[in-house]
Structure 1
Amino acid sequence: MSTEMFNREINRGLGWLVALGVLMILLGIAVIVEPFIATIAVARILSWTLLFAGIVRTVHALQSRQQRGFWLKLLVGIFYVIAGILLLSNVFGAALTLTLAFGGVILAQGILEVIAAFKVRPELNWGWMLLSGIIAIILGIFILYQWPFNAIWLIGLFTGISFILSGIWMIVFPLAILSHLSRTTLP
């Protein structure tokens, strides 16, 4: 394959990534404008995922009933199915539950990052890990303090922000590659 054809293929692939990045940014803006609808959508998607994962886990447990841990596998699968059905039957309850879990996970992540930062303290740039942990702790406390009132918009807002940030890297990364390629292929 010639260098020109190779560059054309790279440009085409990177062009699709930029287009996807623009789409992600637009979707992120739409989600931020309507965070309630996005929160409900995310809650439904996660509820369905939990239900299907439970069905798969239950089927797997039944297929491997001769192996050790059969009953535990079966109980976990059934628990997933029941949780998925319960969350699907009450999407607002699912949003409340997911928001509470989200706040708890972020708080725990922050605490663990702070601990890890002090364990690696002599290393270069350990302060960034500490800062990340402190911010996560503050964010987790904020989420839990505002719960349940933030449940109708928080997951949607964070999903929108995530889409926008993903869209930005999907645009910036290919542009950096194209810039590098143009500098290296010039005579």
Structure 2
Amino acid sequence: MRNFYSAYWWIFLLRGIFALILGVLAIIWPGATFTTLIVFLGGYLFVAGLFALIGAIAARKTTENWGIFLLSGLIGIILGVLTVYNPFATGAALIFLVGFWAMLAGIFEIIIAIRLRALITGEGWYIAGGTISILFGILLLSNPEAAALTLTWLFGFYAVISGIMLISLSLRLKRK
């Protein structure tokens, strides 16, 4: 008997194709408005949520972890609807969230590097990485328009890589 993942390999394939297309569009047309990208992101969250929901319903008889798929699907659908409903708020929140996260991550990297001085050599590289993270966060917060373009490209590359990985996974699952 095939397991859930092998039986529903096509769900991963569809998610991968959708992510790949969205990523390529974000990279090819970086001049598209950030609002459009946020609406696409909302559409992706909604579609991915639907596929996760379908997977959860299908998995309820074959796996005991189907509740995780269900929760993931419902959250994706809700976030997708909210994002499409108010893309400006979502876009602004995303820029500020990434900016503050980068600064906080940089601070923690520097603290960890200082604490690890006795255990490792070359901690200066980790401190430099933390400093770059802090500067990246400051740049995002100081110029939201450039941040929107930068985040569009970053999202595009992430979506392409994620799409390729999901397609590869689906093809391996299909063979099982």
TM-score tier, shorter chain, comes to 0.5 to 0.7
Aligned-partner residue type, residue 79 of structure 1: I
Asked if 1:113 corresponds to 2:106, the answer is no
CA RMSD of aligned residues (A): 3.3
Asked if 1:50 corresponds to 2:23, the answer is no
Displacement, 1:61?
A: 1.0
CA contact (8 A) 1:110 1:135 kept: yes
Displacement, 1:56?
A: 1.6
CA contact (8 A) 1:99 1:155 kept: yes
Deviations 1:30-87 (A, max 9, x none): 84xx5xx442233233222212221121111111113324334312211111111210
% identical aligned pairs: 25
Change (3 A) 1:139 1:72: same
| Structure 1 gap ranges (5+) | 1-26, 164-187
Tell me the residue number matched to 1:79.
75
Range with greater deviation from structure 2 (119-128 or 49-58): 119-128
Indicate the SS of the match to 1:84. helix
Change (3 A) 1:112 1:56: farther
Aligned-partner residue type, residue 127 of structure 1: G
> Please, what TM-score do these two structures have when normalized by structure 1?
0.54
> Please, what TM-score do these two structures have when normalized by structure 2?
0.57
Displacement, 1:126?
A: 1.5
Tell me the residue number matched to 1:155.
148
CA contact (8 A) 2:139 2:147 kept: no
Tell me the residue number matched to 2:166.
none
Aligned-partner residue type, residue 111 of structure 1: I
Distance in 1 between residues matched to 2:127 and 2:40, nearest whole Å: 33
Change (3 A) 1:115 1:56: farther
- Indicate the structure (1 or 2) with the bigger Cα radius of gyration: 1
CA contact (8 A) 1:95 1:151 kept: no
